[in-house]
Amino acid sequence: MATNLKLNDKLIEETVRLGQFKSKREAVTTALEEYVQRRQRLRILELGGKIDFDPHWDYKRMRRKRS
């Protein structure tokens, strides 16, 4: 899917230089992938304290059941 975007040229050039990318496309794709991964990790951190911990849960037994 072709997309035309008005991007900050200095920011793109700095990204290409710092990441030692071969192209602007590679730099933007990698930046977007890293952004998505970071946001997903932040969503996981938001779950802190919201999930009840069961001290009697045996994960090893659960693994054996699947085998």
Extents of the domains making up the chain: 9-51
In this model, does residue 67 exceed pLDDT 70?
Answer: no
Instruction: Mark 1-29 as b/e (b = at least 16 C-beta within 10 Å).
Output: eeeeeeeeeeeeeebbeeeebeeeeebbe
State pTM to two decimals: 0.65
Nearest to 35 by CA among 8, 20, 43: 43
Q: What is the pLDDT of residues 3-59, one digit of tens each?
A: 888 999 999 999 999 999 999 999 999 999 999 999 999 998 888 888 888 888 888
What is d(CA 12, CA 43) in angstroms, rounded to the nearest whole number? 27
Q: What is the per-residue pLDDT across 2-16, written as a single tens digit (0 to 9) for each?
A: 888 899 999 999 999
Q: Report the distance separating Cα 27 and Cα 18, nearest Å.
A: 10
